Amino acid sequence: MSFSDQEIANIRAETPACAAQVHFNNAGAALMPNPVFEAMQSHLELEREFGGYAAESLGKEKISAFYPALAKLLNAKSTEIAFASNHTRAWEMGLYAIDWQAGDRLLIHDNAYTSNYLAFLHLVKTKGIILDRMPSNKFGIIDVEQVETHISNRTKAIALTHMPTFDGSIQPAAAIGSIAKAHDLFYIVDACQSIGQAEIDVQAIGCDLLAGTGRKWLRGPRGTGFLYVRESILDKLSPPLVDNISAIQLSDSEFKWVDGAKRFETYERHVAGQIGLGVAANYAGDLGLSRIEARVKMLSKTLRDKLAGLSVRILDQGDELSGIVTFKSDIKPAKQIIDTLWQKRIAVSYISPHQVTERPDAVRASIHYYNTQNEIEMFCDGLKQIIT
Ligand SMILES: Cc1ncc(COP(=O)(O)O)c(C=O)c1O
**Is residue 359 predicted with pLDDT exceeding 90?**
no
pLDDT tens column, 147-168: 999 999 999 999 999 999 999 9
pLDDT score recorded for residue 354: 84
pLDDT score recorded for residue 356: 75
pLDDT score recorded for residue 117: 97
- What's the pTM value of the predicted model, to 2 decimals? 0.97
Instruction: State if residue 225 touches ligand 1 by the CB under 6 angstroms criterion.
Output: yes
Ligand 1, pocket-test mutation among 169, 170, 213, most atoms within 8 A of CB: 213
Residues in the chain: 388
For atom 16 of ligand 1, the residue with the nearest CA is: 165
pLDDT score recorded for residue 158: 98
Q: What is the CA radius of gyration of the chain?
A: 21
pLDDT score recorded for residue 48: 98
Mean of pLDDT over the chain: 97
pLDDT score recorded for residue 123: 98
pLDDT tens column, 73-128: 999 999 999 999 999 999 999 999 999 999 999 999 999 999 999 999 999 999 99
| Atom number of ligand 1 nearest to Cα 161 | 1
Instruction: State if residue 297 touches ligand 1 by the CB under 6 angstroms criterion.
Output: no
Instruction: State if residue 167 touches ligand 1 by the CB under 6 angstroms criterion.
Output: no
| Atom number of ligand 1 nearest to Cα 164 | 1
CATH code 3.30.590.10 for 5-24+288-387: no
Q: How far apart are CA 299 and CA 297, in angstroms?
A: 6
Selecting from 3.30.1340.10, 3.40.640.10, 3.40.250.10, 2.60.40.1840, what CATH number does the domain 36-286 have? 3.40.640.10
Kindly state the average pLDDT of the residues 129-134. Answer: 98
Strand pairing class (209-213; 225-229)? antiparallel
pLDDT score recorded for residue 388: 86
Strand pairing class (324-329; 312-314)? antiparallel
Instruction: State if residue 115 touches ligand 1 by the CB under 6 angstroms criterion.
Output: yes
Kindly state the average pLDDT of the residues 125-142. Answer: 96
CA distances from 259 to 17, 210, 237, 247, 310 (A): 41, 18, 13, 9, 56
Q: Which residues pair with 321 in a beta bridge?
A: 169
Kindly state the average pLDDT of the residues 52-57. Answer: 98
pLDDT score recorded for residue 151: 98
Sheet containing 349-351: give its strands across: 312-314, 324-329, 362-366, 349-351
Please, where in the chain does CATH 3.90.1150.10 lie?
5-24+288-387
Ramachandran region of residue 167, left (φ > 0), alpha (ψ -120 to 50) or beta? Answer: beta
Where does the pLDDT of residue 135 fall: very low under 50, low under 70, confident under 90, or very high at 90 and above?
very high
pLDDT score recorded for residue 226: 98
Please check whether residue 171 is in contact with residue 160, taking contact to mean a CB–CB distance below 8 angstroms.
yes
**Is residue 143 predicted with pLDDT exceeding 80?**
yes
Instruction: State if residue 300 touches ligand 1 by the CB under 6 angstroms criterion.
Output: no
| Atom number of ligand 1 nearest to Cα 162 | 1
Q: How far apart are CA 282 and CA 287, in angstroms?
A: 8
pLDDT tens column, 164-217: 999 999 999 999 999 999 999 999 999 999 999 999 999 999 999 999 999 999
| Atom number of ligand 1 nearest to Cα 190 | 3
Check residue 213 and report its DSSP letter.
E
Q: Of 368, 363, 366, give the one whose Cα is nearest residue 383.
A: 363
Tell how far the Cα of 87 is from the centroid of ligand 1, in angstroms.
6
pLDDT score recorded for residue 200: 98
Tell how far the Cα of 51 is from the centroid of ligand 1, in angstroms.
32
Tell how far the Cα of 159 is from the centroid of ligand 1, in angstroms.
14
Q: How far apart are CA 384 and CA 357, in angstroms?
A: 29
Please, where in the chain does CATH 3.40.640.10 lie?
36-286
Please check whether residue 188 is in contact with residue 94, taking contact to mean a CB–CB distance below 8 angstroms.
yes
Tell how far the Cα of 319 is from the centroid of ligand 1, in angstroms.
24
pLDDT tens column, 320-346: 999 999 999 999 999 999 999 999 999
Please check whether residue 367 is in contact with residue 325, taking contact to mean a CB–CB distance below 8 angstroms.
yes
Instruction: State if residue 246 touches ligand 1 by the CB under 6 angstroms criterion.
Output: no
Instruction: State if residue 213 touches ligand 1 by the CB under 6 angstroms criterion.
Output: yes
Burial of 127 (C-beta count, 10 Å sphere; 0-12/13-18/19+):
middle
Q: Of 157, 141, 50, give the one whose Cα is nearest residue 97.
A: 157
CA 69 distance to own-chain centroid: 16
**Is residue 357 predicted with pLDDT exceeding 80?**
no
Instruction: State if residue 366 touches ligand 1 by the CB under 6 angstroms criterion.
Output: no
pLDDT score recorded for residue 78: 98
Kindly state the average pLDDT of the residues 304-319. Answer: 94
